[in-house]
Amino acid sequence: MKNRLAGAVLVAGISLAAGLGSCANMRSVSAAALKPAKDRKAAPDFTLKDALGRTFKLSEYKGKVVLLNFWATWCGPCKIEIPWFIEFEQKYKDKGFAVLGVSMDEEGWEVVRPYIEKSKVNYRIAIGNDEMAQLYGGVDSLPTSFLVDKEGRVASVHVGLVSKSDYENEINELFGAKKSHAGTVIPAVVLGAN
């Protein structure tokens, strides 16, 4: 009996790991409230090029709340979130908010540019790489999103699909609105990419 249970646990663990290895299809693997300000770690600066070929750095966004989203064109849950992020960019940009999308598509701009044009993405998109993913603690599932506070510290991390209201509650809380009961936080790190 003990060996049968151990085997079942091993199979369940392998199945879970396989499901999390690429595009997450379930509710957030890690989603809770914002990390207390005193426990937030600085998001290291990085440099990337956007769809227009312009170089930008995360540090340019200090003073703003940033939603940093790792995604891919083939990821179903990512396709659900992107319209929300388009809406957030429009709704909150004048309050000091920005969405930064980092595509993890191996084919790069060849597939990303047509996707963002078709989807009418209104926020900055860049192409990420394994180095960047590792500096963020290893982005093993897509979507993975980091909310960065105005001081440039990681306030929360969401792995997998979470509700639109979880994001919106956390964004508003970072703007100083009433504390919500949304999503979990995992410290993260960012990179220096080309």
User: H or E stretch including 153?
Assistant: strand 153-159
At residue 43, the pLDDT reads 92
Residue 58 DSSP class:
G
**Helix (H, G, I), strand (E, B), or coil: what is residue 191?**
coil
Q: How confident is the prediction along the chain (194 residues), in pLDDT tens digits per residue?
A: 323 323 322 233 333 333 334 465 444 444 457 999 999 999 978 899 999 999 999 999 999 999 999 999 999 999 999 999 999 999 999 999 999 999 999 999 999 999 999 999 999 999 998 888 888 888 989 999 999 999 999 999 999 999 999 999 999 999 986 443 444 333 333 333 33
Q: Answer for the pair 36, 68: CB distance below 8 angstroms, yes or no.
A: no
Residue 179 DSSP class:
P
Contacts of 52 (CB under 8 A, 6+ apart): none
At residue 183, the pLDDT reads 40
Q: Answer for the pair 116, 99: CB distance below 8 angstroms, yes or no.
A: no
Q: Answer for the pair 170, 180: CB distance below 8 angstroms, yes or no.
A: yes
How far is the C-alpha of 57 from the C-alpha of 96, rounded, in Å? 16
End-to-end CA distance of the chain: 54
At residue 162, the pLDDT reads 93
How far is the C-alpha of 30 from the C-alpha of 150, rounded, in Å? 22
Instruction: Supply the CATH classification number for the domain 24-174.
Output: 3.40.30.10
